[in-house]
């Protein structure tokens, strides 16, 4: 079994009691797996710090739209 399609074929051929057992096992595996944060905390904190610095530099000034600042910080 090398693909999800292969696995699905085998699972559908199992009797319902074995499908339920597999489901219970899979749920336990998924629930105990650590959640993957798409951005590590340090990266997020650095991004927030840069945002705050830009906000402070621009305090009282007008001209640069917030969306442009956000895009610049994201590297868009």
Per-residue pLDDT reduced to its tens digit, 17-38: 898 888 888 888 887 766 666 6
Structure tokens at 39: 């951005």
Average pLDDT on 50-68 reads 78
pLDDT band at residue 42, thresholds of 50, 70 and 90?
confident
13 is a domain residue? no
CB burial of 30-62 (b: ≥16 within 10 Å; e: otherwise) equals eeeeeeeeeeeeeeeeeeeeeeeebeeeeeeee
30 is a domain residue? no
51 is a domain residue? yes
The domain total for the chain is: 1
pTM of the model as a whole:
0.40
69 is a domain residue? yes
Q: What percent of the chain has pLDDT over 70?
A: 87
CA atoms within 13 A on the CB side of 10: 8
Task: Look up the domain containing 48 and give its range.
Answer: 41-74
Identify the pLDDT of residue 36. Answer: 62
């Amino acid at each position: 079994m090398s693909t999800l399609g292969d696995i699905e074929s085998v699972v559908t051929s199992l009797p319902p009691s074995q499908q339920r057992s597999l489901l219970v096992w899979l749920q336990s595996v998924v629930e105990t797996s650590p959640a993957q944060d798409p951005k590590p905390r340090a990266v997020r904190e650095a991004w927030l710090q840069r945002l705050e610095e830009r906000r402070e530099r621009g305090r009282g000034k007008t001209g640069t739209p917030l969306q442009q600042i956000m895009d610049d910080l994201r590297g868009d």
